[in-house]
Amino acid sequence: MRAILKSLCLCAIISIPSGGSAQQSCATRDIVVERLSTGYGENFVGGGLQSETKIFEVWFSEDKGTWTILMTKSDGTSCIMASGTNWREAIPSDKVPAGIPG
């Protein structure tokens, strides 16, 4: 019973909001990364430091077209900042039409 309750709580904590919802979902980084990898087929594609205490990462699934922006704090807590669908690759800078910031 205890294991079932723990599983239900973890699912509630790390369920990924759809469509860029303002809701924030947080858990330890290993739990969030496991969910992104196995549940959504997403892989780490890039990121960087925002400050000495925060790292931002972008995760993406080529198969499903889903993406997630993950923020990890120095205490190991990761929060999903945004997520969505219909990911598209950037236009190479030499092909950006004049007048469009690139």
The rounded Cα 38 to chain-centroid distance in angstroms is 13
Q: What is the pLDDT of residue 4?
A: 41
Q: For 25-48, how does the pLDDT look when each residue is reduced to its tens digit (9 = 90+)? A: 899 999 999 999 999 999 999 999
Q: How far is CA 40 from CA 32, 77, 88, 99, in A?
A: 11, 20, 17, 36
Q: Is 27 helix (H, G, I), strand (E, B) or coil?
A: strand
Supply the pTM of this predicted model. Answer: 0.66
The angle at the Cα of 39, spanning 36 to 43, to the nearest 5 degrees, equals 35
φ, ψ dihedrals at 100, nearest 5°: -105, 125
Q: For 44-100, how does the pLDDT look when each residue is reduced to its tens digit (9 = 90+)? A: 999 999 999 999 999 999 999 999 999 999 999 999 999 999 988 887 776 666 666
Q: What is the 3-state secondary structure (H, E, C) of 40-98?
A: HCCEEEEEEEEECCEEEEEEECCCCCCEEEEEEECCCEEEEEEEECCCCCCCCHHHCCC
